[in-house]
Amino acid sequence: MNLERILVLLLVAVAILASIPKIMFGSWGIILVVLGLIAGGVGKSGDTTDRIVIYVAAIALPVFSNSLDVIPTIGPWVNQVLDHLATGVQGMAVAIFLVAVYGRLMPASQ
């Protein structure tokens, strides 16, 4: 397993833990964003398709997850997990964008 895969798995695990009401911790959002920033900065997202998928997921995931509230019993919980996951994906999107901008600004090493 490479570091990017471990960070994404950790991001999913933290998103699930943040959705459990019994685990009260005030900084889940910061942890998710930091994990997303690290995963996006470390990851090899040079492929344009991968970047577009992450950008679209960062925008669409919170919007579509809200429709899950109508499912009885598990809908609000799944919505909350996806909302927390979207927070991490948004951090990934910001890091990937900053790496892409940095790559355009700095001259290529030869």
| pLDDT one-digit tens code per residue, 44-76 | 766 788 889 999 999 999 999 988 888 888 989
Q: Spell out the alpha helix ranges (H) of the chain.
A: 3-18, 28-42, 48-65, 75-105
Alpha carbon separation from 96 to 20, 38, 58, 67, 72 (Å, rounded): 29, 10, 12, 28, 37
Span 5-33, pLDDT tens digits: 899 899 999 999 999 888 878 889 999 99
Q: How much is the pTM?
A: 0.86
